A and B are shown apart, each in its own frame.
Chain A
Amino acid sequence: MEAPPVSVMPVTGGTINMMEYLLQGSVLDQALESLLHRLRGLCDNMEPEIFADHELVYLLKGQQGNPFLLRARRSLSHPAAPWHLRYLGQPEVGDKSRHALVRNCVDVAASHSLPDFLNEMGFRMDHEFVAKGHIFRRGALKVVVSKLSRVLVPGNTENTEPLSLSSLVELSVLAPAGQDTVSEDMRSFAEQLKPLVHLEKIDPKRHM
């Protein structure tokens, strides 16, 4: 079935336009323990939260050049939790002095029939991976340390192999558009994690 023409437009009206501020870095597995200790001390005083997620990336190829990308993620450790569908826009090209990557973000919770629904809509799964790690929070700041693994047989999340010998560290904040003080807080927090991990804004376009 041919995909119907889709015009890619940002979501407007009805909801607040949420932006995601992102800083990324990586840490070798040997240094993971010390990073976790550091984060435990710097972040809010809670029991460390472990997660195991399975993410599927769906693409909708329209007639135009850029395909439309949606990320569907479910929790392996909490099977009853709803799926999470996410759209991430292009990173905003603001002034270079902004310390974090800013992009439009739409988050939707979905029921367990999401993959079927996306397939019916015309999306095709591009790739999937399993992410396992820890989540920390500090106020509105979220720090996710995850080890990414490749799924060998599509659909089988038991059989995985790690993608690399390091873990991905992401520092993110969801804030309405226009709050620039958020990136300052993120930068000062990232300073405190040096030299264990260097968090910086990584433009995904340059690496594609």
Chain B
Amino acid sequence: MSGGGPAVRVSIESTCEKQVQEVSLDGMETYVPPLSMSQNLAKLAQRIDFGQGSESDEEGIEAEPKDPQDWGKTEAEEDEATVKFQPSLWPWDSVRNNLRSSLTEMCVLYDVLSVVKEKKYMALDPVSQDPSAGKTPQVFQLISKKKSLATAAQLLLKGAEKLSKSVAENQENRRQRDFNSELLRLRSQWKLRKVGDKILGDLSYRSAGSLFPHPGTFEVIKNTDIDLDKKLPEDYCPLNVQIPSDLEGSAYIKVSIQKQAPDIGDLGTVNLFRRQLKAKAGTQPWHVKLEAAQNVLLCKEIFAQLSREAVQIKSQIPHIVVKNQIISQPFPGLQLSISLCHSTGEKKNHRASPEKPKPDDHLYVLEHNLHQLMREFHKQTLSSIVMPHPASAPFGHKRQRMAGPMAYDKAEISSMQQNEGLLEKIIKQAKHIFLRSRTARTIDSLASRIEDPQIQAHWSNINDVYESSVKVLITSQGYEQICKSIQLQLNIGVEQIRVVHRDGRVISLSHQEQELQDFLLSQMSQHQIHAVQQLAKVMGWHVLSFSNHVGLGSVESIGNASAITVASSNGEYAISVRNGPESGCKVLVQFPRSQSKELPKSDVIQDAKWNHLRGPYKEVHWSRMEGRNFVYKMELLMASLTPCL
């Protein structure tokens, strides 16, 4: 320390003041025994708050006022330390150390202050402090939170933008539909190949076995005539197909049977009204177009085959081929017309509406059958029967290859070949359909016209293209169990009807409508007589005579008349019935002689027993007889003639 003055001797002695514990009555002071070092330490140590952090990091300026505290603390700490490590140190060592350190610090402080005051070596400038650093921590938190939220928000916005962009792109894609993906879809259903820089396809049936020379190639082109600014139409497709010009539009084959046209002038002008093709929702426009073109091609092939056969095959009545129509005569008075109706679609207005009121006599079944027959023909060319074994042999039917080694003659070879063409098959089918519908009409008209014997027809569900069958039953109402002798099985073929009777007779009827009608009428009249026969059995009457084809009486123009005679159980009465399809029924009753009045008395017959025999006949007014049908009336008649017992 600078400064004058004599050195002052500092003597230090501890205050020996001891606390008075007690003053006894005789004035003696009992002092509290001074604390020993360890006790003192303990006392001081108790005062130390070890929880409070040491503030030795602070500036030296602030350190000074706290020095005595520090002093105590450090002393305590040092004491502790000295207690731990060096128990036999000078007790005032710590005090001396502390003093020395404080002196050092004071010197330093003084030096710093003097340097700063002189402003020769160092100058202090105020540092602009961040107001926010000094501000309260809450604002800082707010600012930091704001920043972090802003970053998070930016990330989310970026993600949302990406999502919305992809959604928009998807929609764009769905509408725009990439050309390549569309091409892939096209390729999965149609045959395509690349020729140069063009994509060509094949829509013909050649790979399925057809031998039609039409190439059937279509071209795939990119649809570039779109305006990107305008909204794309709903059915926009980036791919377009160009089909050959002769396959455009739609076509079908119309098969119909009509009465023979009176004049030949209006042939070839068949109505070509367009049949709307219903496209399934979701199918591409190119698919619809290609399918329609393929259908047109198949119809053309069918018609070409039919017309070729119509010209080449010799038949009794030649077929007429005019423009797009083939006409043939299956039955006299009838005309079968097969026509190819191809409408290209542009001439919509020309579709004549006067055709509409005409009933649709289009036989759809035959059109379908034509398609099927054509496809079967295709399949035949592809069947493995054609493949040669050994492999070097030419293609051809397996059987025909055997013709050489097995030495077939001409008859065998011709029998091996297919002699029925498409046209013949269709004509046969048409004939059968017509015959079947006419038979049904005949039976139905008879059934509705005639009530007394009822006629029932049970058509078989399972038919052939060339054959159908129907079972016809003739019964009387109320007596179905008794009178069921007339049951006919009709097998309707292509040109004739074969009838199998219950009793075993087989009759062939031609296609004439009248023949069937006449036959059924004759069967109905026979049924009445058969019914009487059955009834007699039930009623107990005896059948005296029965004939299906009676030779007496007037000649019937349809069939023959039948007759029966029955006698009552006691023989007194007899009933004779004659029934003919045209002449109707005639019933006569024979009475016993005793009841008739007009018999003259004769000398020859004298015995009374002869009066019991049957005598003259009397006709019954059948129309005035009570009963709803013939058999019922007959039953009543029989009942009335049977005596009550």
Contacts and interface: CB of A to CB of B under 8 A. Distances in A.
Contact of A86 (B384, B389, B392): B392
A51 B390 contact: yes
Interface residues of A, number: 36
A109 B384 contact: no
Contacts of B193: 192
Contacts of B394: 107, 174
Interface string B176-215: 0000000000000000010000000000001111010000
B388 to A, nearest CB: 7
Interface of A is mostly: strand
Interface string A37-80: 00000001111010101010000000000000001011101100
B207 A135 contact: no
B552 interface: no
B206 A53 contact: no
A26 B170 CA distance: 49
A53 B209 contact: no
A121 interface: no
- Residue among A53, A55, A71, A138 having the largest count of chain B Cβ atoms under 10 Å: A53
A32 interface: no
Contact of B382 (A46, A74, A75, A144): A46
A46 B384 contact: yes
B402 A51 contact: no
Contacts, number: 82
A45 B207 contact: yes
A51 B393 contact: no
Contacts of B516: none
Interface residues of B, number: 26
A28 B204 CA distance: 34
Nearest to B195: A188
Contacts of A146: 391
Interface string A134-162: 01011110101010000000000000000
Nearest to A73: B390
Contacts of B406: 111
Given A82-B404, A107-B393, A110-B405, A135 B387 contact: yes
A84 interface: yes
B390 to A, nearest CB: 4
29 contacts: A44-B208, A44-B209, A46-B387, A51-B390, A53-B391, A53-B392, A71-B392, A73-B393, A75-B389, A75-B390, A75-B391, A81-B389, A81-B398, A81-B401, A82-B401, A82-B404, A83-B390, A107-B392, A109-B393, A109-B402, A109-B404, A109-B405, A135-B387, A137-B386, A137-B387, A138-B207, A139-B211, A144-B391, A146-B391
Interface of B: 193, 206-209, 211, 382-384, 386-395, 398, 401-406
Given A55-B392, A84-B392, 17 more contacts: A44-B382, A45-B208, A51-B389, A51-B391, A78-B389, A81-B390, A82-B405, A84-B388, A84-B390, A109-B402, A109-B403, A109-B405, A110-B404, A133-B391, A144-B391, A144-B392, A174-B394
